[in-house]
Amino acid sequence: MAEPKHTRIIKIIEIVGESPRSWDDAMRGVIKEAQKTLRGITRIGVEEFDVRMKDDKIDVFRVRTKVSFRVQR
């Protein structure tokens, strides 16, 4: 069997975004923060949506994500 010409290595990290406004805003925060330091992002998958409650009201919307990116050498 022939060896692939270019072997890619993908690293996956977990990032949690929080927002007092919405899950959408929390997700946009994850994307913005990931793009500041990571290069070669190939995928951002949502693992979980949840909220933090305070005094019986939603305090913070939270999005737990897994960010995949190519390892550069």
Whole-model pTM: value is 0.82
Domains along the chain? 15-70 (3.30.1660.10)
Torsion 15-46-27-57 (CA) sign: negative
Does residue 69 register a pLDDT over 90? Answer: yes
Does residue 73 register a pLDDT over 80? Answer: no
Ordered DSSP codes for 37-51: H--SEEEEEEEEEEE
Distance (Å) of CA 46 to CA 2, 7, 41, 72:
35, 26, 14, 24
Q: What is the pLDDT of residues 10-59, one digit of tens each?
A: 999 999 999 999 999 999 999 999 999 999 999 999 999 999 999 999 99
Rounded CA-CA distance 33/35 in Å is: 5
